[in-house]
């Protein structure tokens, strides 16, 4: 029996959004099942989708919300690589349950028109984004540290490693390698001695090492970081932005730099402290963070609007920021 578009029921994603809502948010249109050949509009979307163009899938598999293999592979030169063209058909053995129905409900399920298999080489699956509450406010968790945290490997480079963590969170979605850490030491000028730059120079170094990064400097004067600074920091973090901050190291009492990745729903702060001897692998309170920052002069907020490899890394700043923006746009359209 042949199927056509009129026979395909509306699809709902994990957030309960229909095809029309997904289309307005930039997600692909449904496939035409006539002759089991992908709609040209769907194929055109695939080739222009900014989340796909940095990845190429390897091995067999079908795209869908329950299929996380194959793993994406990257070009070694760091340049984006388009997924190869191929002849695609609907995967006849892939089914999506009706909304509210168990995935194991039996044979009375609808075939999911979003799931495809390639006859030659498959594309990577679309990652599930974390659910965002409060119309775009971004929250983070301790597990997000897996996408950026790398401790310093000498006594001079806390600033360089803090900058490298921001790069990981927005560009690569993984902790910096030894080679990348060495590059950040060169950018920060911390080979053989500590960082000697101002907050403006921190912002300049970040933009030098992270393509398309936006920065904003918050300088309150030395020893004047207080409640106003925390309000400004909270506003930046709520938007999904992150920060490199000057602090006093509670372990040594010396000037120090840390990476501030965001806040939890309980209002605590997720930080990347290059000094692994500080007990900051768990969220810390605002009072503790302000006490660390109070004797220094401020922080530099940073964020990226463009897509990167980190946009596909669950838990990264780029991933959460992208989802918050799309969710906020959906809410805005719903109110119009």
* Structure confidence by residue, pLDDT tens digits, 111-135: 343 333 333 233 333 333 344 444 5
Q: What is the mean pLDDT of residues 237-247?
A: 97
Both structure tokens of 218: 């918050």
Q: Are 119 and 55 in contact (CB under 8 A)?
A: no
Contact call for residues 46 and 53 (beta carbons, < 8 A): no
The reply to whether the predicted model has a pTM over 0.75 is no
Cα(238)–Cα(273) distance, integer angstroms: 20
Give one DSSP letter per residue of 281-295, joined into a string: SS-B-HHHHHHHHTT
pLDDT digits (tens, 9 = 90+) for 9-40: 455 544 555 555 555 555 555 444 443 344 55
Residue 318: per-residue pLDDT: 94
Lowest mean pLDDT among 84-93, 194-203, 242-251, 320-329: 84-93
pLDDT band at 41 (very low <50, low <70, confident <90, very high): low
pLDDT at position 17: 52
Return mean pLDDT, the chain: 72
- Lowest mean per-residue pLDDT among 26-35, 51-60, 142-151, 214-223: 51-60
Q: Say how far apart CA 167 and CA 206 lie, in whole Å.
A: 8
Could you state, in order of their start, the residue ranges of all structural domains in the chain? Answer: 1-128, 142-328
Over residues 309-332, the mean pLDDT reads 79
Nearest to 302 by CA among 215, 218, 211, 210: 215
Instruction: Fold for 142-328, please state it.
Output: Cathepsin B; Chain A (3.90.70)
Select from 263, 251, 249 the least CA-distant residue to 195.
249
- CA quadruple 208, 210, 212, 217: dihedral sign: negative
């Amino acid at each position: 029996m042949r199927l056509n578009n009129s026979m395909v029921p509306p699809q709902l994603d994990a957030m309960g959004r229909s095809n029309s809502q997904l289309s307005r948010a930039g997600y692909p249109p449904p496939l035409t099942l006539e002759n089991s050949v992908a709609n040209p509009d769907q194929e055109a979307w695939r080739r222009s989708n900014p989340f796909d163009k940095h990845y190429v899938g390897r091995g067999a598999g079908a795209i869908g919300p329950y299929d996380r293999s194959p793993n994406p592979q990257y070009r070694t030169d760091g340049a984006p690589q388009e997924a190869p063209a191929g002849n695609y058909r609907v995967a006849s053995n892939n089914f999506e349950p009706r909304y509210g129905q168990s995935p194991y409900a039996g044979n009375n399920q609808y075939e999911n028109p979003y799931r495809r298999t390639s006859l030659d080489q498959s594309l990577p699956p679309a990652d599930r984004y974390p659910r965002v509450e409060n119309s775009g406010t971004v929250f983070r968790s301790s597990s997000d540290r897996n996408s950026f945290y790398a401790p310093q490997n000498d006594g001079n480079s806390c600033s360089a490693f803090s900058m490298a963590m921001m790069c990981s969170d927005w560009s690569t979605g993984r902790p910096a390698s030894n080679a990348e850490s060495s590059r950040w030491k060169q950018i920060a000028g911390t080979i053989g001695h500590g960082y000697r730059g101002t907050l403006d120079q921190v912002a300049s170094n970040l933009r030098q090492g992270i393509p398309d990064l936006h920065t904003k400097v918050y300088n309150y004067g030395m020893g004047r970081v207080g409640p106003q600074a925390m309000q400004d920091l909270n506003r930046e973090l709520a938007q999904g932005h992150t920060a490199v901050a000057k602090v006093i190291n509670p372990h040594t009492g010396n000037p120090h730099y840390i990476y501030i990745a965001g806040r939890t729903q309980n209002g605590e702060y997720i930080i990347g402290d290059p000094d692994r001897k500080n007990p900051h692998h768990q969220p810390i309170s605002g009072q503790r963070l302000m006490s660390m920052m109070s004797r220094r002069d401020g922080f530099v907020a940073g964020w990226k609007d463009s897509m990167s490899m980190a946009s596909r890394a669950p838990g990264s700043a780029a991933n959460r920021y992208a989802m918050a923006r799309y969710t906020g746009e959906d809410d805005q359209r719903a109110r119009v």
